[in-house]
Structure formats: C-alpha cells, structure tokens
A and B are shown apart, each in its own frame.
Chain A
Amino acid sequence: MKQEMMEIVNQVELAPRIFEMTLRGDLTQEMVTPGQFIHIRVPREDLLLRRPISLAEVNHGDKTCKIIYRVEGDGTKVFSECQIGDKLDCLGPLGNGFDIEMVEKDDVVYVIGGGIGVPPLYELGRRLKEKGATIYFLNGFASKDVMYYEEEFSALGQLHIATDDGSYGVKGHVGMLIDKVKPVTGEPKAIFACGAPGLLRAVETTFIDHPHVYLSMEERMACGVGACYACVCQSKKDPKVNKKVCDEGPIFKAGDVII
C-alpha cells in the first residue's frame, strides 16, 4: 500500500457518463487481490476528499490498471476531463478484496453485478477464469444505453444481462437472472456480488445458508485507510459493533454486516 503519481495512458467513454481510465505505475505491482480499490486525489485544490474507485483490471506486465467510473459529481467530472499523459495521485491498493481461495477448477461460480458495481467483477472474473472456474456473470443495468463490457465478460464466462427497462436482455433485475440460471447450474460453489444495496440484499436472501457468498459494500469515505470512521456499516452478529468498509471491507461475507 503506497502513494504514487500514476500516469493516465488511456481514457475512453464506454457509455454516457461512464468512463474507463487506464493508469500506469509501479503501484500496480501491489494490486494482487481482486475487489480492492484505489483512493484518487482530485486534481483540484478545493476538492479535498479522495475518491475511492475499484480496480476493474490489473496487468502487472505493462504496469497498468483500469478503473471504470461514472460521472456523478465534481470529482468524477474532473477525472473525466483529464487527458492522456496527466498524472493522478493514487493511494492503494486499499481494502481486503474477494476471497477466491476455495474456488477450484470447473467449479460453478456466480458473479453478480449491477450498474457501476460491475467494474471490480471484471478483474475478479479474470482471476476466476485463471483458476478454471465455470463463471456465470449476471449483470444488471438501467438500460442498454448504460451497458458496458459485454464482450469482455462474455470472453470469460457465460454472461446474462437484465435491464430495468427491458431494452436489452431480461426485463427486470438480476434476481430474475439468478432464477433463470440456477435450475441449469445447480448450487454454485461461490457467489460474488457488487452493486446497490437492493441487489446485495437480494443475493444474500437468495443464498441465505450458502457458505461462500461475498458482497462488496459501498459507503461514503474520507480517509480510505480506517482512520476517520466515516464509512462504517453495522455488524449483523453484534449490533454494537461497527465495521469500517474501507479497511475491514469493502468485501464482507454475507451475514457479516447489515446491508
């Protein structure tokens, strides 16, 4: 975990307001666990808080990583206006990442994402593919317009898509995709999910007694390193205990925290 000025080597708008940025730097050598994030300083003096953005892809060979972000406010707007060759102050990698140790060759796994929660699942998919797992990606988007990485996910496993407005794939949410796939695959070995709280709750409820369900949580952060206690979520086992999303998460085992 360290701080580095990483160079922007590519920036593409994948869909309206959704950008893929490629960064190069030595920091990538420390990015070993899928699901981790980097904390990026906005190159504008009056915006003090770094932005936590998950790692969508890491390539140790050419020292690059990709992040995918949606322009939501001033900070991400500034990122979207950055040019190739600009440098960004990155801190990381932060957070615990997905535990994929139990996954073995030919195991069936579900990787479930929604909207801007999809990016970290791509690097996760690459790692699961390396292990020889049979991956079912169940991705939900608001509409076809804001969909991205269809080809990329399809290259790693079987991709199923749901859109809220029915403009592509199944009309509805990812719960419907689970209902569609489960009778075919039987119980998966592990389930990994990242998305809005509603999606995470649906996954948790569907696989309530499953021993390997991992959920990526999101909460507004300040420090990103566990010092400020801003990004907490409540432990399910002990309601008196708060867990820090940046430090103890962002990946939690289903049942560990209240979503």
Chain B
Amino acid sequence: MSRLSVSIPGLELKNPIMPASGCFGFGDEYAKYYDLSKLGAIMVKATTADMRYGNPTPRVAETPSGMLNAIGLQNPGLETVMANQLPSLEKYDVPIIANVAGSTVDDYKRVCERIGDAPNVKAIELNISCPNVKDGGIAFGTSAQVAAELTAAAKSVANVPVYIKLSPNVTSIVPIAKAVEEAGADGITMINTLVGMRIDLKTRKSVLANGTGGLSGPGIKPVAIRMIHEVSHAVDIPIIGMGGVSTVDDVIEMYLAGASAVAVGTMNFTDPYICPKLIDELPSKMDELGIESIEQLIREVKEARQ
C-alpha cells in the first residue's frame, strides 16, 4: 500500500483521483494528452440500454466559476459501448467505473447486468440524478423509496459493486443516502450537478436549448462539501466526493468532509492535465498538513466524528 492508495468496494485505487463521469468522454479523448494508467480510476460517460441522441444545442453555458450543461446523456448505447468504447481502455492499468443511466428500471437492469463484463470495469455508478433528461434520471434520485428500489434492482443483476450517484436537487439528501445504503448500495458518489438556468439578455430566452442545465465547477464546491459532510455522518458506506474540485486543497477538503476518493469534473475541460497534476501535487500537500497516508486521513476523519 502506498500513501496515496485507497481500497473501497471493487476498487483498489493507486491514488484517490479520478475524472468524473461526463467530463472525460469514454477515456480515449484524454489518452492523447497523458497515460491514463496514472489515474486512480476513470468514471466513463453514462451508458444507456439504447443509444441516446441527447439534447439540442447550445448544450453549455458559462457561469461565474462554473458552467451549465444539458448534454442529455448522449451515448451510442450499451452494445456499442461494450464493443467499441470500453475495450480500448483495456490497455491501461486503471479500474473503470461505468456510469449507468436509464429511463425505466428494466433499462437500468439491462445495462447493469452486462456492463461489468467489459474489461477493467470494476464498479458501476448508478446515475439516478441526471438533471437533463425528462424520462428518468433525476426522477429516480429525488425519492428515497424509488432510489432504494432501483438500487436493489441494480444490485440483483450487477456482477460488480454498485455506487449510487446522488442528486443535490432535493430538500434533504440524507434520507435518500440512507435508503440506498439499506437497499444494498456498495458506495455513494456525490454530488451530481445542481439544476440551473441562464437567460440571454438580447433574446430574452434561455441560453441553453434545453432551458435548464446542470451547474458544475468550483462554484458548487461548498454545496458538495456540505452534502458529503451530512451524508458521511449518516451512512457507513464509502463516498466518492465530487463537485468543483480544482486544487489539492479541494481534494483534502473533500476528505475532511467524509469522502474516501475524489472525482474531478468540469476542471478537465479547463485544464486537460488537471487529474495528473493533482496526483503529482498531493504528496507535498499531505507533507505540509502532516498527513501520513490517505487511508490514515480517512480513519482520522471517521474517528473524529465518533
């Protein structure tokens, strides 16, 4: 075990940094920039049972220290992802977390049943919180009961551990976190984007063709920290924290809130090298703060809560 390594269900991470789903394509796009084996893991773009065309453009808008997106889960569908996208990641020494989305419980089950067979797919991230699709996504993530039922359904067919990606667009996130834990979730990933909107002053219409979109970037980090803090006090399963991470300070802050690993989203677009940079900078930040190892930090945060 190195001082950066982390062990969570299904995932032996050599370091705790991974690109978040939707912000790294299916991985190959960034392989032109650096060796993907350097990453702790890769959370690939959402896969649905059938191909999804996505939303009309414009799909992105800039906000202060953030961005709105309304991609709409565009992807080529399970069979194409299995045949074309995931095998190309086999050459890298990096575990893959497959993000799974759907419109119905059966859709989710179809993908969960198959996707763990793909090379290097060591865990599933169940996307019950996409704010940009009408027929599913967030609808599953805003009710504790529905989220629990979907979690149980996914667990019944998946052959790899299942992490549930929680939505921040709820009155209280804790009951949903508890419900998915009780339903058998192996871990939680949080937070997904916050629903937001921008209006063009000249046209007086929404900047995004979809009307609303998901807000991400450093602007949402305090919301993520607060929610991870709340949920980590309520559940025992590990949390992969995300939401506005852009520096090693943010990585440590996620740990202090209660995360066990950290995903980087929007900042991949600003700086394609952000993940390897954070991995390189982490040891000296740990030295500076007197942190012996990431596992030790996780234990200390847990003990401080008791």
Interface residues, chain A, with chain B CB atoms under 8 Å away: 1-3, 41, 45-50, 75, 89, 91, 219-233, 240, 242, 247
A48-B59 in contact (CB<8A): no
A229-B74 in contact (CB<8A): yes
- Interface contacts beyond A227-B268, A227-B269, A229-B25: sample of 13 additional A-B pairs, CB < 8 Å, sorted by A: A1-B32, A47-B62, A49-B60, A49-B62, A225-B33, A226-B25, A227-B24, A227-B30, A228-B22, A240-B51, A242-B54, A242-B74, A247-B29
Which B63-82 residues have a C-beta within 8 angstroms of A? 64-67, 69, 71, 74
B74-A226 in contact (CB<8A): no
CA of A66 to CA of B59 in the docked complex: distance in angstroms?
29
B 18-30 binary contact with A (CB < 8 Å = 1; else 0):
0000111100011
User: Binding site of B, secondary structure by majority: helix, strand, loop or mixed?
Assistant: loop
CA of A156 to CA of B274 in the docked complex: distance in angstroms?
42
Interface residues, chain B, with chain A CB atoms under 8 Å away: 22-25, 29-30, 32-33, 45, 51, 53-54, 57-62, 64-67, 69, 71, 74, 217-218, 266-273
Interface centre among B51, B62, B271 (most CB of A within 10 A): B62
User: Chain A contacts of B62 at CB under 8 A?
Assistant: 47-49, 75
CA of A85 to CA of B65 in the docked complex: distance in angstroms?
26
A222-B30 in contact (CB<8A): no
A230-B23 in contact (CB<8A): no
User: Chain B contacts of A226 at CB under 8 A?
Assistant: 25, 29
CA of A255 to CA of B217 in the docked complex: distance in angstroms?
37
From A2, A48, A89, give the contact of B66 (CB < 8 A): A48
User: Chain A contacts of B66 at CB under 8 A?
Assistant: 48
State how many angstroms separate the Cβ of A76 from the closest Cβ of chain B: 12
User: Chain A contacts of B54 at CB under 8 A?
Assistant: 229, 232, 242
User: Chain A contacts of B64 at CB under 8 A?
Assistant: 46
User: Chain A contacts of B23 at CB under 8 A?
Assistant: 223, 227-228
State how many angstroms separate the Cβ of B25 from the closest Cβ of chain A: 4
Give the 10 A-B CB pairs with smallest separation, nearest first: A227-B25, A227-B29, A230-B60, A223-B269, A220-B58, A230-B59, A226-B29, A222-B269, A222-B60, A46-B65
> Are A228 and B269 CB-contacts (below 8 A) given A48-B66, A48-B67?
yes
User: Chain B contacts of A227 at CB under 8 A?
Assistant: 23-25, 29-30, 268-269
A222-B51 in contact (CB<8A): no
14 contacts between A and B (CB under 8 A): A41-B271, A48-B67, A89-B271, A219-B57, A221-B60, A223-B29, A223-B268, A225-B33, A225-B272, A226-B29, A227-B268, A229-B59, A231-B57, A231-B59
State how many angstroms separate the Cβ of A231 from the closest Cβ of chain B: 7
From B60, B65, B267, give the contact of A220 (CB < 8 A): B60
State how many angstroms separate the Cβ of A256 from the closest Cβ of chain B: 17
A49-B269 in contact (CB<8A): yes
CA of A227 to CA of B58 in the docked complex: distance in angstroms?
16
User: Chain A contacts of B58 at CB under 8 A?
Assistant: 219-220, 230
State how many angstroms separate the Cβ of A233 from the closest Cβ of chain B: 7
